[in-house]
Amino acid sequence: MATLLHIAASPRGRQSESLALANTFLEVYRELHPEDDIAEWDLWDGTLPEFGPPAAAAKMDVFAGRTPTGPGAEAWQAARSVFDRFAAADKYLFSVPMWNASVPYKLKQFIDVVSQPGTVFGFDGELGYTGLVTGRKAAVLYTSAVYGEGRAPSFGADFQAPYFDGWLRWAGITDITTVEFRPNLAVADAEPRRARAHADAVEAAKTF
């Protein structure tokens, strides 16, 4: 039995294209893997801690080989709890809408909280970073309202997929499946694109 964790970055509920794709993916996955545990993590549910001055100080303490104390220790434990929840899964499904050419700030907050030395990454002064979240796989569902590959620059740029794919690989997750529905708003072929994206989500779930 494996655990699949769906991390949802959209706050739009039933109006969300990325969540609709996730529902299609999960419906197929449940049918094929009835023994697996599927966990849901809505990044907008208020459980993500802030990563402010105490947490940043604690991170630098850890980098320097010191043990965080006081408010820093509390902030560090909060960040470690987020990582523990993340690391408990064997597989990940991320539903990621595009916001202002990149990812929603809640997803960036999740990344900033969970990406700590000794958890998501190791660091060597001569060799650089090493991803520590290995032996796992991820499926990522990318949506955007306006941006689309091949469209004019006036329709935006893509800092969404390069950034998030880059973070996954940096963390050690290199087995990545992606499904795209970009663009999905104010385009003549939105419905065929939607149908194709959901068909891609079905196929991705079958091999995940």
Our measurement of the distance from residue 54's CA atom to the centroid of its chain's CA atoms, rounded to an integer in Å, reads: 25
Cα 181 from chain centre: 16
- 113 close to 51: Cβ distance less than 8 angstroms: yes
Percent helix / strand / coil, the chain, rounded to 5: 45, 20, 35
Give pLDDT, residue 72.
Answer: 95
Look at residues 5, 12, 6, 7 and name the one whose alpha carbon lies nearest to residue 184: 12
Asked if pLDDT for residue 186 goes beyond 90, the answer is no
The top-level CATH class assigned to 3-206 is alpha beta
Q: Where are the domains of the chain?
A: 3-206
pLDDT-based confidence at 83, cuts 50/70/90?
very high
pLDDT in tens, 152-182: 999 999 999 999 999 999 999 999 999 999 9
- Using DSSP bridges, classify how beta strands 128-131 and 91-97 pair: parallel, antiparallel or unpaired: unpaired
Summarize pLDDT for 123-145 with one digit per residue, the tens.
999 999 999 999 999 999 999 99
